[in-house]
Structure 1
Amino acid sequence: MVKGSFTDESFWSVQIDRLWKARIIDGYNLLPKLLPDFISKVEIIEGDGGIGTVKKLSFTKGINGNGFVIEKIMALDRDCYLIKDTVINGGLIGPRLISYSFEHKFEKISDHSTLVKLTVEYESSDEYPLSVEEQNLLIVRMTGIMKAIEGYLHTHPTAYV
C-alpha cells in the first residue's frame, strides 16, 4: 500500500459565489443536465448537503466500467469555500485504490474570476503510486465538470447570483 497525493490548480472566469453555488451547493441538480452523456443522475442518499452527506453519482455506460461513485462530505466550510469529499464506494475503489478523496478550495482572484485548488489524497491497494496518467485522468474529469459549469454560467448570467 502506498499513500500519496497530488494537486492541481485551475482558473475560471466566473465569480466565486456563483461557481461555488453551481458546483457545490446545487451540483446534484445541475450536473446531470449539463453532462447527460457522462452523469445520468446525482442522488443525496443521506444528509442535508452538509458534513456527513452521502451522494451517489451514477455514470452513463462506458465510463471506464465504473457505473457509480458514492462520496461522503468530510469537510465543508462555506465561508472559506472549501469542501472535501471521500469516495466510499465505486469509482477507483477496488483493484487499484483502497481509498481516495478530493478537496476543492475556491479562491477569489477578482470580481469575475476564481482559482480552484484541487488536492487528491489516496491509498493504493498495491505497492505503486498512481501514475501520472491516472492522476491526469482524475484531473481531466474534474476539469471537464468545471468547464461545463463555467460555460453554463456564462450563457446564463442570472443563474446562481
Structure 2
Amino acid sequence: MRGYLSQDTLVEVPAVVLWDVYRSLQLGKLASELLRDFVSKVEFVKGDGGAGTIVKITFPPGTPGPGYMTELFTNIDDEIRLKEAEIIEGGFNSVGFDLYRICSQIIEKDAESSIVRSSIEYEIDDKLEEIASQVTTKPLEIMAEVVGKYLKEKRSSTN
C-alpha cells in the first residue's frame, strides 16, 4: 500500500528567512528547544545539513512507539525550497513501514509571508492498513507554526 498526505501551513515570515532555517541544521536545534513535548533531543550524526546528513531524533519518555527515529536528508533543493528526508531507523520503520518520506517545501506567498507545504509519502504492507491510517502531518504543521512564530517574534524584536 502506498499513501500520500499533504498540508499547507501559512507562516507570517518571508520565504527566504524560513528556508534558511528549514534547509539547515538550525531546524533540528529549534525543534529540540521549542517543541520539548514532542522532541527531547536532536543529534547530528553525520553531515552539514545538506543531502546525506543523518539526524537522530529522540522522543520524550512516555511517547508511544519507538523512542527515537533516524532521518537521512535525501534532497535539498534551494531553487524550489524543498527538503526531503527518509526515516532509516526507528520511528515508523519500527512499526512496519517500508518507506516513510517527509517533505517540506517553503512557498513564497508575498513579501512577508510564506506557506510551508508539509507532506508524507509512505509504503507499507497492505495487511498493516490500520497502522497506515494513523499517519498524520500534524507534527509537521505544529513545527511550521511554532518555528514561524519564533522567527516572526525574533524579526519583530530586531526591527
Please give the TM-score of this superposition, normalised by the length of structure 2: 0.87
Alpha-carbon separation, structure 2, partners of 1:35 and 1:154: 17
Secondary structure at the aligned position of 1:92 is classed as helix
Structure 1 stretches of at least 4 aligned residues deviating more than 4 Å after TM superposition: none
Matched, 1:64 2:87: no
Stretch of structure 1 that moved more, 66-75 or 19-28 = 19-28
Secondary structure at the aligned position of 2:92 is classed as coil
Secondary structure at the aligned position of 1:115 is classed as strand
Matched, 1:155 2:153: yes
For residue 13 of structure 1, what is the aligned residue in structure 2?
A: 12
1:65 Cα deviation (Å)?
2.9
Secondary structure at the aligned position of 1:144 is classed as helix
8 Å contact kept, 1:42–1:55: yes
Count how many residue pairs are aligned between Structure 1 and Structure 2: 156
The code of the aligned residue for 2:9 comes to S
Question: Greater helix share, 1 or 2?
Answer: 2
Unaligned runs of 5+ in 1: none
For residue 111 of structure 1, what is the aligned residue in structure 2?
A: 111
Please give the TM-score of this superposition, normalised by the length of structure 1: 0.86
1:158 Cα deviation (Å)?
6.4
Percent of residue pairs bearing the same amino acid type = 26
Q: How does 1:9-158 map to 2 (within 5 A)?
A: 9-25=8-24, 26-127=26-127, 128=129, 130-131=132-133, 134-135=134-135, 138-157=136-155
C-alpha distance after superposition, 1:1-57 (max 9, x if no partner): x12222222211111122122333111222111112321221111112111111111
8 Å contact kept, 2:119–2:137: no
RMSD: 2.2
